[in-house]
Amino acid sequence: MQNTKSILTLATATTFGLCSSIFPPYKNAFSNEPSYSNSTSTPTLSGILGQDLPPLNSNFLQELLTPSEENVAPPQLTPLEKCVLQLDYDSQPHGRFVPLAKNDHLAITRPRNSYGHHALTTTLDRAACIMYEQYKSPLRVNDLSREHGGKLYPHKSHRRGLDADVGMYAYNSQDGYYTTNASLQHRSKAYKDFNNPQALEANWRFIKTLTSGPSEVQYIFWDNQLINRLKKHVIFTHGSEEWKTHGKYFYPEPGHKTHYHIRIKTPELKKTT
């Protein structure tokens, strides 16, 4: 029994001595003497380990706190920013008549009649792209002009590459989707897919986007009843000043109950016509 106690005592002392040699008591921050008191001074890492350490790399903490490029989320782009990046207008020909581009946000119904002035095609392309990013519905495009202009039956205009017939936005509340392919007039009354807040707001956003550039809109020919219906919605929702700014482009015209007729003002052509 006595031998057992001696062995345990020796083992304990040996272990304590070994630990003390590996982890000596930390040194006081202001002296070289070991301190076991409850000092308020913060022990240094060198004092705790009992050896001098190289200085900490100043870039280490910054690298630790800065996320890697792989973990950084991509910036959230607005519909306009996405379309500016997607559409390369400078690479398009700047002749008098250029074809409207084929893409996901334009539904061209008559390709042979989809030619227009560069100012017209870029303005339509931009507006359709922004609307598609927001509503996921391509803009239906009927007639612009023929490849070399001239008379286009049955239109009285559409000869100079300045005019375009495009669809109106409808909202199907039952299935929850937007479209510009619906026929929205029946017996002089607008269908419910147009005469609802969602569709009216989508049409107003299209008009605002269209009249914001890059080229100046001269007229938007449309049915007078539909103009008044949209006007009521805009004034009630956004105020009269907004209607004055963007609604001034509307011009009542019979025979335009199912589509917008857009005419672009171009200084280049104004000099020669």
Number of domains in the chain: 1
Residue 126's CATH number: 3.30.1380.10
Tens digit of each residue's pLDDT (9 = 90 or more) over 121-132: 999 999 999 999
40-87 per-position pLDDT tens digit: 554 454 444 445 545 545 564 455 455 555 555 555 666 666 676 555
Q: Look at the pTM and tell me if it is higher than 0.75.
A: no
Over residues 107-154, the pLDDT tens digits come to 999 999 889 998 899 999 999 999 999 999 999 999 888 787 778 777
Q: For residue 23, is it within any domain?
A: no
Give me the domain span that covers residue 247: 79-270
Tell me if 155 is assigned to some domain.
yes
Domain annotation covers residue 170: yes
In a domain, residue 243? The reply is yes
Q: Residue 204 CA to chain centroid, in angstroms?
A: 18
Which of the listed ranges 21-30, 235-244, 253-262 does the model predict with the highest average pLDDT? 235-244
